[in-house]
């Protein structure tokens, strides 16, 4: 592995079947197939903007695993650190289609191939080849060994002088209880450089209601930048260099809210890696989040440079 990466991430890609017609999930008869996983969404988004990205995971020796690998390769994502096992299966999910609000999602991921990832799967040379690492709070919740892997990866990258971004991406159903989740997520956040909570996540994790206070909670723990997603209202950012609110973009029609936060992360990370002013990076995050909610699937709307520029100019 001699290739230098802009970004590396790790997580659990899953095969996804999303309903083609709105209504209750159990009544849906027609589905489209896609790839799901917050880390996959971020990887695809960054790759479409021209950044070199590597995804670390483990998949089953099955058709879902082959589908995911093919999809990642088509998106020009490096899969040289993807491992396979014939002992466990690739995870999957099914998702409803809604006209308003968030869709219903049911996961089939217990004892999946990715859940068996452990410290023995960590390749320091591969991670060190990247300038930046993105982490979410989902993978550490999947299993004890996944949590250990995440902690080690974050500490390793920081020890190498790399930057780490962290999106809490709370999944309460994967944790034993709320207190355990809050403690683990805040621990990972404090080890990272850039933290991107949603406003409701920030309230739960810190006990504060105002974006300014949520940001101060993490800045006091050593984080260098906090960007808080405010939905249609845009985002708030704070660092030692300044703070501010960045308005959101007008959305014509919300098709699917899943993946909006991942699109936001794509915008902010890419902007910071390209050394855009902080406010412009956050504005790009707002733009990609808005574009993504206007498309079905988790990553269908993630734009390339041309689509992004056109949307932001309009």
- Residue 109 main-chain phi, psi, to 5 deg: -135, -5
Tell me how far apart the alpha carbons of residues 289 and 240 are, in angstroms, rounded to a whole number: 25
> Do the beta carbons of residue 22 and residue 98 sit within 8 Å?
yes
> Do the beta carbons of residue 225 and residue 197 sit within 8 Å?
no
- Residue tagged 């405010």 (tokens): 230
Tell me how far apart the alpha carbons of residues 21 and 8 are, in angstroms, rounded to a whole number: 35
Query: Phi-psi category of 101—alpha, beta or left, where left has phi over 0 and alpha has psi -120 to 50?
Result: left
Specify whether 300 is catalytic. Answer: no
- Residue tagged 């004890």 (tokens): 144
Torsion angle (degrees, nearest 10) of CA 78, 282, 163, 3: 20
Q: Is 84 exposed, middle or buried (0-12, 13-18, 19+ CB in 10 A)?
A: middle
DSSP string, 218-235: HHTTT-SEEEEE-GGG-E
Q: Contacts by 198-206 with C-beta closer than 8 Å and gap 24+? A: 198/168, 198/228, 198/229, 198/231, 198/261, 199/228, 199/229, 199/230, 199/231, 201/168, 201/170, 202/228, 204/170, 204/178, 205/168, 205/170
Among 155, 262, 298, 304, which one carries the catalytic annotation? 262
DSSP-derived pairing of the beta strands 242-246 and 235-239: antiparallel
Active site residue ranges: 262
């Amino acid at each position: 592995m001699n290739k230098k990466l802009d970004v590396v991430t790790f997580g659990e890609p899953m095969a996804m079947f999303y309903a083609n017609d709105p209504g209750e999930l159990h009544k849906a008869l027609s589905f489209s197939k896609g790839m799901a996983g917050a880390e996959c969404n971020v990887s695809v988004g960054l790759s479409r903007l021209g950044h070199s990205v590597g995804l670390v995971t483990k998949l089953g020796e099955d058709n879902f695993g082959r589908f995911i690998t093919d999809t990642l390769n088509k998106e020009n994502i490096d899969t040289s650190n993807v491992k396979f096992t014939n002992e466990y299966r690739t995870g999957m999910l099914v998702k409803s289609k809604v006209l308003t609000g968030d869709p219903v999602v049911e996961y089939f991921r217990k004892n999946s191939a990715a859940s068996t990832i452990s410290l023995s799967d960590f390749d320091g040379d591969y991670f060190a080849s990247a300038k930046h690492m993105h982490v979410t709070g989902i993978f550490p919740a999947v299993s004890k060994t996944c949590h250990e892997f995440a902690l080690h990866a974050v500490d390793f990258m920081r020890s190498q002088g790399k930057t780490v971004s962290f999106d809490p991406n709370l999944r309460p159903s994967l944790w034993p209880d709320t207190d355990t989740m809050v403690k683990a997520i805040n621990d990972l956040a404090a080890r990272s450089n850039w933290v991107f909570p949603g406003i409701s996540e920030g309230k739960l994790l810190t006990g504060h209601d105002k974006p300014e206070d949520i940001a101060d909670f993490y800045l006091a723990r050593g984080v260098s930048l906090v960007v808080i997603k405010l939905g249609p209202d845009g985002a708030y950012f704070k660092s030692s260099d300044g703070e501010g609110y960045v308005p959101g973009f007008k959305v014509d029609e919300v098709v699917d809210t899943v993946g909006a936060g991942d699109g936001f992360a794509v915008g902010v990370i890419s902007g910071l890696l390209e050394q855009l002013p902080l406010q412009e990076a956050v504005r790009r995050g707002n733009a990609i989040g808005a574009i993504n909610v206007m498309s079905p699937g988790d990553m269908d709307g993630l734009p390339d440079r041309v689509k992004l520029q056109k949307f932001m100019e309009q």
